[in-house]
Amino acid sequence: MIDFQPTDEQQLVIDTVRNFAQNEIRPLARECEESAKLPEKVLSAAHELGLVANALPESAGGGGERSAVTGVLVAEELAWGDLAIALAILSPGLSALPIAEWGDGQQQQALARFVGSSFVPGSLAIVEPRFDSDPFRPATSARRDGDDYVLDGAKCFVPWLDGGAETLVVASEGGAAQLFVVPRGATGLRAERERNMGVSALPTAELALSGVRVPASAKLAGADLRRLVAQGRAAMAAMAVGVARAAFEVARDYAKERQVFGVPVATKQAIAFKLADMAIEIDGARLLAWEAAWKLDRGEDATREALLARRQSARVALDVADGAVQVLGGHGYIRDYLPELHLRNARGFASFEALALV
């Protein structure tokens, strides 16, 4: 039956994560952005919530409750707190979720690290530093050489948090995109910390792969790249909605406070209608993200739905964040307020792919 109400369990998760985002993440958003550093304590505390571990299989010590719908609900709430910190919190899933879904018995042993007592980041290298970056047809190549694969190419926007052991690399083998588990210390792999317009607190790397040699067993042979991309797009769509909602709320609250001509500026239709449009678009984009996630949970090809969600939410996040800056006027341009950060972060969703997964 068509329904838009999360389950009681999901509502509990939403409430928990919303509280966490409000009390633990949001207060640090600005400071982390300015210092380009992650709050280690928050990552540990988030790890204790088990957001990623719950989605891993019971056989690996996880909760065995993977659900893309639950994933998008969580992703939106975290991103509402702060996008960079949210991506860091969800980063273990970048390695763990594909390994759990497509890894063989041997490969699955790597999951144990992600369900331990401390936070262990993951990493996925899917975006390439070129204007026509295409997750389905990466320019990075994988060539079989005896018992090994040899990888060549370049990646960017690769989450590269301290303490990570590996990254999953998307590369073309004979024209088909495949996933390889590559140790961070592999010979021929060079990682350089990026500086981007937004999400500054999240350490990301641009990778140069030059004859990187991994054993044949490093390939996740059963990986479904269409599904991986859709999982990434559903996650990013939900996070775009989270960023948009955060910007909208700042603008709404500011507009009710700010006095012009003796009344709150929110009582002017020019502002009030802009806020109304934001609210409509945010809700519409959210439902598209939910639908893509719901399709994923049914095991169906969600390529189209995920693309629609991605495009719509990226546009909405940008429009809403830009509108929020505008509503705050000069204050919107000042880094004392969050909308300028929301605007910089929102622009990224046109380029981000799978910086988180559901």
Give the SS3 label for residue 17. Answer: helix
Tokens matching residue 151: 């990888």
In terms of Cα–Cα distance, which of 194, 198, 197, 216 is closest to 206? 194
- With beta carbons less than 8 A apart as the criterion, state whether 172 and 322 touch: no
Task: Choose between 1 and 105: whose C-beta lies nearer to another protein.
Answer: 1
For residue 143, the cross-strand partners are: 150
Task: Choose between 170 and 191: whose C-beta lies nearer to another protein.
Answer: 170
- With beta carbons less than 8 A apart as the criterion, state whether 251 and 282 touch: no
Distance of closest approach, residue 101 Cβ to another protein, in angstroms: 19
Distance of closest approach, residue 266 Cβ to another protein, in angstroms: 5
- CA–CA distance, 286 with 312 (Å, rounded to integer): 9
Distance of closest approach, residue 32 Cβ to another protein, in angstroms: 29
- CA–CA distance, 340 with 358 (Å, rounded to integer): 27
- For the chain, the residue count is 358
DSSP single-letter state for residue 190:
E
Q: Where are the alpha helices (DSSP H) in 53-151?
A: 68-81, 83-90, 92-102, 105-108
Distance of closest approach, residue 241 Cβ to another protein, in angstroms: 12
Task: Choose between 108 and 231: whose C-beta lies nearer to another protein.
Answer: 231
Task: Choose between 69 and 186: whose C-beta lies nearer to another protein.
Answer: 69
Phi first, then psi: what are they for 312, rounded to 5°? Answer: -65, -45
- With beta carbons less than 8 A apart as the criterion, state whether 84 and 247 touch: no
Task: Choose between 180 and 248: whose C-beta lies nearer to another protein.
Answer: 248
Task: Choose between 21 and 237: whose C-beta lies nearer to another protein.
Answer: 237
Distance of closest approach, residue 40 Cβ to another protein, in angstroms: 34
Largest CA distance in the chain: 77
- CA–CA distance, 223 with 212 (Å, rounded to integer): 20
In terms of Cα–Cα distance, which of 307, 233, 247, 243 is closest to 84? 243
- With beta carbons less than 8 A apart as the criterion, state whether 270 and 262 touch: no
Footprint of another protein (CB under 8 A): 1-7, 10, 69, 131-136, 226, 229, 252, 255-256, 266-267, 269, 272-273, 275-277, 279-281, 283-285, 287-288, 290-291, 294-295, 303-304, 307-309, 311-312, 350
Task: Choose between 78 and 230: whose C-beta lies nearer to another protein.
Answer: 230
Task: Choose between 26 and 226: whose C-beta lies nearer to another protein.
Answer: 226
Distance of closest approach, residue 273 Cβ to another protein, in angstroms: 4
Distance of closest approach, residue 2 Cβ to another protein, in angstroms: 5
Run of H or E residues at 300? none
**Alpha-carbon distances of 166 from 17, 96, 105, 122, rounded to whole Å:** 27, 11, 18, 7
HSE value, Cβ hemisphere, 13 Å, CA-based, for 49? 22
Task: Choose between 148 and 297: whose C-beta lies nearer to another protein.
Answer: 297
Distance of closest approach, residue 306 Cβ to another protein, in angstroms: 9
Distance of closest approach, residue 317 Cβ to another protein, in angstroms: 14
- CA–CA distance, 179 with 232 (Å, rounded to integer): 14
For residue 111, the cross-strand partners are: none
